[in-house]
Amino acid sequence: MNNTFDSNKQFDQAASDILSQIIQHRRDVRGNRFLKNAIKEGDLKQILDAALHAPSVGFSQPWEFVLIHKDEIKQQISQSFQRENEKAKETLSKSLDDDKQALYQSLKLEGIQESPLNLAVFYKPNNAPVLGQTSMPDMGRFSVVCAIQNMWLMARSLNIGMGWVSILNPDEVKSILNAPEDRELIAYLCLGYVDKFYDKPELEIRKWEARKKAEQVVIKEQYADV
């Protein structure tokens, strides 16, 4: 990899096309796809470097990353997932029809114990005012999400799968990982090489939701009067 930096680097159409392909082929990978192979040190470094080059409000870089390889820690996190997933099933059962409930029951929603690497991403708040964050205090958290997206795209470019587990109790995860009181869990990620990437997102394939079209979400100038 060429680490030489050009202060006014220009990219050609081929580079743009490759980036577009990476974005379109990014997938949320579940436990039934992960292989046990450990992630190569060089690949992991590239993924973390991508996170460190993410945009952040006021160049605050308010992120921390906990790398988790130990099975005993993964098991504790997995138990938290199981408890929270039972709550989710009960909540969703009130709003889903029978077909959607059956589909939910069949979905594999995480790969905590199957993936060779778990990665917890925390937001570390700044005690002093942050440039650009005074009017919108959540900008620090959004900055951490930008780092996660960078990791996801870099992982996909290396043919490494990533899955985001959101059915977790963040306080339990903090306790398991002995995180400082002021840290806030933003994401719990599962990473590893996979046996295959789906042609489309799994939830689209399983007809949980359909992909929205641009005309459904792109608004010109301002919202129309309701």
CA nearest 157: which of 3, 12, 10, 27? 27
Q: For the chain, give the longest Cα–Cα distance.
A: 57
pLDDT of residue 17: 98
What digits encode the pLDDT tens for the residues 162-181? 999 999 999 999 999 999 99
Spatial separation of the C-alpha atoms in residues 197 and 60, rounded to whole Å: 34
pLDDT at position 2 over 70? no
Spatial separation of the C-alpha atoms in residues 39 and 33, rounded to whole Å: 15
CATH fold for the domain made of 28-209: NADH Oxidase (3.40.109)
Count other Cβ atoms within 10 Å, centred on residue 184: 16
Question: What does the H/E/C string look like for the chain?
Answer: CCCCCCCCCCCCHHHHHHHHHHHHCCCECCCCCECCCCCCHHHHHHHHHHHHCCCCHHHCCCEEEEEECCHHHHHHHHHHHHHHHHHHHHHHCCCCCHHHHHHHHHCCCCCCCCCCEEEEEEECCCCCCCCCCCCCCCHHHHHHHHHHHHHHHHHHHCCEEEEEECCCCHHHHHHHCCCCCCCEEEEEEEEEEECCCCCCCHHHHCCCCCCCCHHHHCCCCCCCCC
Count other Cβ atoms within 10 Å, centred on residue 28: 16
Question: pLDDT-derived band of residue 93, with 50, 70 and 90 as boundaries?
Answer: confident
In the numeric block, which tokens belong to residue 153?
Answer: 């795209």
pLDDT at position 66 over 90? yes
pLDDT of residue 67: 98
Spatial separation of the C-alpha atoms in residues 214 and 136, rounded to whole Å: 27
pLDDT at position 119 over 70? yes
In the numeric block, which tokens belong to residue 95?
Answer: 């709003």
pLDDT at position 1 over 60? no
